[in-house]
């Protein structure tokens, strides 16, 4: 085990609630001053600087000099991915079914320090999460494109046909070693979003269609005006679309 990565230092840095609050505030990839981060975390400026110094020394943050001002941002996209994975793991490791997990973790679900753009739509591994993703997951269930059996998510015959009409072929996705579909715990919602190779394929479809876009180092996904409309309709049953 001599080559195993040492994660204890990073775990110690993220274990402090004030430091984790400042990390949440930087999850959208935007650089922020220490004064703003202190306000978000409920710290005095001097205490915030001390915590930020530890996060910087630990390699989790980088500093940008803009004149006389110093701005902090996540050191790399992988840092944001790691923080989000820890939040999701907190939900997934809780005992009971997924509905009970989200009910018991309402405090985590609020995540008041996280930027609103990150809560709406963001990268979650190779798929997308946030409010829009959770809404989409529910519409796919309601319209019968997917169904939930215990903890398994299955694509129905109807869903496979509908997805194929959009250029997403479930049979091809099934050849991957990863699950085709799963309910991925969402740290900002009380509901799951769609993971697996299908979730990744839908993210690529939405980006290629110009509905979502990735910007810089941010994990937040930008939603275009067309995307707002199309994502709201995607997966709805035909009778529901006619009623709009």
Q: Where are the domains of the chain?
A: 8-75, 79-243
pLDDT category, 1, cuts 50, 70, 90?
very low
Q: What percent of the chain has pLDDT over 90?
A: 38
Does 170 score more than 80 pLDDT? yes
Report, as an integer, the average pLDDT of 139-153.
Answer: 92
pLDDT of 60 reads 93
Radius of gyration of the chain, Cα coordinates, nearest whole angstrom: 20
pLDDT of 87 reads 73
pLDDT category, 199, cuts 50, 70, 90?
very high
Mean pLDDT of the chain: 81
State pLDDT tens for residues 85-130: 777 776 665 555 444 444 443 333 344 445 677 788 988 878 998 8
pLDDT of 141 reads 95
State pLDDT tens for residues 2-59: 554 567 888 888 888 889 888 888 887 778 888 888 877 888 888 999 999 999 999 9
Tell me 175's DSSP state.
Answer: T
| Cβ–Cβ under 8 Å, residues 207 and 17 | no
Tell me 149's DSSP state.
Answer: E
Beta-carbon contacts of residue 140 (< 8 Å; ≥ 6 apart): 146, 159, 194, 235
Q: Does domain 8-75 fall into CATH 1.10.10.10?
A: yes
pLDDT of 200 reads 94
pLDDT category, 191, cuts 50, 70, 90?
confident
pLDDT of 108 reads 39
Distance (Å, rounded) from C-alpha 150 to C-alpha 190? 18
Does 193 score more than 90 pLDDT? yes
Cα–Cα distances in angstroms (integers) from residue 167 to residues 177, 179, 209, in the given order: 21, 19, 11
Beta-carbon contacts of residue 29 (< 8 Å; ≥ 6 apart): 73, 74, 77, 80, 215, 216, 217, 218, 219, 220
pLDDT of 244 reads 40
Q: What is the pTM of this model?
A: 0.61
Name which residue leads in pLDDT, 75 or 188. 75
pLDDT of 217 reads 64
Does 240 score more than 60 pLDDT? no
Query: Please, how many CA atoms are within 13 Å of residue 27, restricted to the half-sphere of its CB?
Result: 33
pLDDT of 114 reads 55
pLDDT of 91 reads 61
Among residues 105, 179, 186, the alpha carbon closest in space to that of 146 is found at 179
């Amino acid at each position: 085990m001599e080559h195993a990565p040492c994660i204890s230092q990073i775990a110690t840095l993220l274990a402090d609630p004030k430091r984790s609050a400042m990390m949440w505030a930087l999850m959208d990839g935007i650089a922020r001053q220490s004064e703003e981060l202190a306000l978000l975390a409920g710290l005095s400026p001097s205490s915030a600087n001390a915590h930020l110094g530890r996060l910087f020394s630990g390699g989790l943050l980088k500093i940008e000099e803009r004149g006389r001002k110093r701005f902090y941002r996540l050191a790399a996209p992988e840092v944001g991915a790691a923080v989000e994975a820890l939040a999701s793991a907190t939900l997934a490791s809780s005992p009971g079914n997924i509905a009970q997990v989200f009910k018991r973790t309402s405090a985590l679900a609020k995540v008041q320090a996280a930027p609103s753009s990150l809560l709406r739509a963001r990268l979650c591994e190779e798929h997308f999460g946030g409010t829009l993703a959770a809404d989409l997951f529910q519409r796919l269930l309601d319209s019968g494109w997917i169904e939930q059996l215990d903890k398994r998510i299955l694509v129905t015959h109807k869903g496979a046909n509908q997805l194929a009409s959009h250029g997403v072929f479930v049979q091809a996705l099934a050849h991957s070693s990863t699950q085709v579909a799963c309910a991925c715990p969402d740290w900002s919602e009380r509901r799951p979003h769609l993971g697996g190779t299908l979730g990744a394929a839908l993210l690529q479809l939405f980006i290629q269609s110009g509905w979502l876009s990735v910007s810089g180092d941010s994990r937040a996904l930008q939603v275009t005006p067309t995307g707002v409309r199309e994502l709201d309709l995607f997966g709805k049953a035909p009778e529901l679309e006619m009623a709009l």
